Structure 1
Amino acid sequence: MLELRDRIAAIDRALQEVQEVEISRPGTPVRHSLDHRFDKTDPDVDAAPAPTPSQEKTNPFESLSSSGNEKKRFYDSVAAAYGLGILDEDEFVEYVVYDAFITNLRICPVNLTDEGHFYYVEHRSFLPHVPGVILRRGTDKHGKSLGVAHIPLTGANTFGVGDFEARPQDMVWEKMANKGFWTHMKYEFVHELPGGETKAFHWIRTRNNIIDDQGDLVLVEDEKEQLVLAEYLGKGLLKWKKRGRLRIRDMPGFGEKWELVVLLTWASVVELSRRRARMRRYSPTHLIGT
C-alpha cells in the first residue's frame, strides 16, 4: 500500500513532467467520471462497426417532408377493419354535394361540362302520403322527377326510380331497411339488375363527423365488402355551403338506372340520419338538459 508521502511525491512528479500516472492499486476498475468526455476507452477494445444502411435510423424530418405528397386515407376505425376505401379513382364519377334550401341538397359533378349529371334532392319530413325524398334532374326543385323514396314513421322504407309526378303507376318499388344491431350503422336494400338477378347492397357508416347530423358512408355489395361501389365523405364541422363529396363507381353491368338507385338510397340514409338528429336536438329530454 502506498503511503501518503509516496502519493504526494508521485503527484508532484506528474505535475512536473506534465503526464498522467495511475496512482490506484493495480487491478482496480477504472473510475468513470460524471462527464463521459473524460472517460478513457480501453485501447484493447475494438471500436463498434459502422451501421449498415438498413440499421440506420430514419430521419424524422424526411418523413414529414414526404408526407405531403402521399394520399390521405379516407377511412379509419370501422372502414379500416372492413378494408374499405377507394384506391382506383379513375373508375368513379365524383360529385360535390351542396346544401340547398333548408334540408334540400344540390349534387353537382366535379366536371362541370357534364350537363347530364346535375341532381337536386328534396327532403320532406313527416308529411303523410308524400315522398320523403324526391330526386330531380337539374339544380333546383323545378326539374323532372327521376325517383322518390317513402320514409314513413313506422313500416318499411321504399324507393322507386321513375317520374313519380307524371306516371306514378309505372313505379317499381324496392325496400330498404336498417340492418344494424342496436344502431343505424348499416342499411340494406335489394335491387333487381337488368338481367333479372337480384342482389343485396349495404350502406355502411364508417365514421361519425364531429357536430354533424351525418357521418361518412360507403356502399358495398353483400358479402363483397372489399369492393366499394360508392362513398360519401362529409365535411363535418368545417362545412359551410359545401356539405361533402360523393363518388359512384362506374358499373356498366348494373344498368342505366344504377346511378339513380345509388343517389336515392344515399339520400334516404342521409334524411333518416338527419331526422334522428333533429329528434335528439328538440326532444324534451334535451330541452331540460337530461
Structure 2
Amino acid sequence: MRRKLYLDESLSTKALYYAFNTGFECIQRYMKEWIKKLLLSRKREAKIHAVKEIQRIFRGYQGRLYFKAEHHRQRCLQAAQVIQRIYRGRIGRKRFARIFQAKTSAASKLQNIYRSRQARKLFEISKAVAALKAKEQYDRSLLGRLEARRNPMDELYRRAKLPREKEILTQLKEKYEAHRTLEERAVRKLKRECATVWANADEIISNQYKVRRKLYGVTENVYATHRELEQRKKLHLSLEKEVAELKSHVRAFKRAMREAVENKRMLEGSEVFDLLKEQGLYLEPESNNQRD
C-alpha cells in the first residue's frame, strides 16, 4: 500500500514537472516569436524611415538644382535685356549723330554757296563802280581834257553815253537789290522748310523707334509667357505621368504585401526591399561625390 502511494506521488510529481516544462517552453516560444516580430517591425520602421529620409534628401537636391537653373535663366534673360538696351541706345546715338552731322554739313554747304554767290556779285558791282569812278576821274583830269580837245567827237560821244551808263547802272542796282531780296526770302523759306522737314523726320524716327520698342517688348513678353506656359505644361504632364506610375507601383506593392499577409507569412527585410526595388519605390542612395 505504501509503495502504491509512493508511486502515485512520484507520478504526480513527474506530471507536474513535465507540465511546468511544457508551459515554460510554450511561454518561451511565444516570447521569442513576439520579440522577433518586434525586432522585425522596428527594423522595417527604421528602413522605411531611411527610405523617406533618402527620398527627402534627393527631392531637396532636385529642387535646389531646379531653383539654380531657373535663377540662372532669369539672370541670363536680364543680362540679355540689358545688352539689348545698351546696344539699341548706342545705335540710336550713332544715328542721331549721323543725322545731326548731315544737317550741319548741309546747312554749312548752303551758307557757303549763298555767301560765295553774294560775294561774287558784290565784287562785280564794286568792280564796275570802281571802273566808272576811275573813268570819271580820268575824264576830269587834265589828260582827259586834252584828249577831249584833241578828239571832240569822243567827248561828245562820252557825254552822250554817260547818262545811259548811269541809267543802266541804276537799273542793275535796283534789279540786284530786288533779286537779293527775293533770294533772301527764298533762303529763309528754304530754311523754314528744311527745319520743318527735319523736325518731321525726327518725330517720325522717334515714333518709329517707340513703336518698335513697344512692339519688341510686347513680342518678347508674349514669347516669354508662351515659352513659360509650354514649359509648365510639359512639366505638369511629366509630373502627372510620374504620379500615375508611382500610384501603380504603390498599388502593386500593396497587393504583394496583402498576398503575403493572406498567406500568413512574415516578409523579411530583404524581401521587402526586393519588392520596393521591383516596383521602383526604392531609390538607391547616392555617393557623397555625386551629391556634391
**Is TM (by shorter chain) over 0.5?**
no
Larger RCO, structures 1/2 (Cα 8 Å, 6+ apart): 2
With the length of structure 1 as denominator, give the TM-score of the two structures: 0.19
Which structure has more helix as a fraction of its residues?
Answer: 2
Normalising by structure 2, we get a TM-score of 0.19
Identify the structure with the greater strand proportion. Answer: 1
